[in-house]
Amino acid sequence: MNKIRRGDEVIVIAGKDKGRRGTVLHIIDDERVLVEGINIAKKHTKPNPNLGIEGGILDHEMPLDISNVLVFNPKTKKGDRVGIRVSDDGKAMERVFKSSGEAVDI
């Protein structure tokens, strides 16, 4: 079970976008994460009329290392580490915040 999933609201803790929040769009090989509106780079694109692509300089979201983001805890208004708790019968697993032990809401 992954501690960070697609759709989670995360906060960046390192890099040029430190302190910014965004939603996880995609997880790449359990090591990198693509966050909406974070780590924007300029990409020079050639026009392709067959595909309807205009040329120019476009903003493109680049992946971040997964260790540079924390799941945002809405109660404390801070980033928080996430752990996994197994139920007493050993069948169900849920993600919980390490600081409070409360379940992570999706």
Quote the domain boundaries for residue 40: 9-97
* pLDDT at 90 (0 to 100): 83
Instruction: Express each pLDDT in 21-78 by its tens digit.
Output: 999 999 999 999 999 999 999 999 999 999 999 999 999 999 999 999 999 999 999 9
Provide the strand spans (E) within the chain.
9-12, 21-28, 32-35, 40-45, 56-61, 64-65, 69-73, 78-80, 82-86, 93-97
User: According to the model, what pLDDT value does residue 10 have?
Assistant: 97
Residue with tokens 């540079």: 68
Q: What CATH number is given to the structural domain containing 24?
A: 2.30.30.30
Residue 8 to residue 79: CA distance in whole angstroms: 12
Tokens of 23: 């939603």
Q: Alpha-carbon distance 95 to 83, whole Å?
A: 6
Per the structure, the count of domains in the chain is 1
Mean pLDDT of 13-26: 96
The pLDDT of residue 87: 81
Burial label for 27, CB within 10 Å (0-12, 13-18, 19+), is middle
Query: Domain for residue 72, yes or no?
Result: yes
pLDDT score of 40: 96
* 105 falls within a domain: no
| pLDDT at residue 29 in the model | 92
pLDDT in tens, 83-106: 999 987 888 899 999 998 888 875
Can you state the percent helix, strand and coil of the chain, rounding each to 5? 5, 50, 50
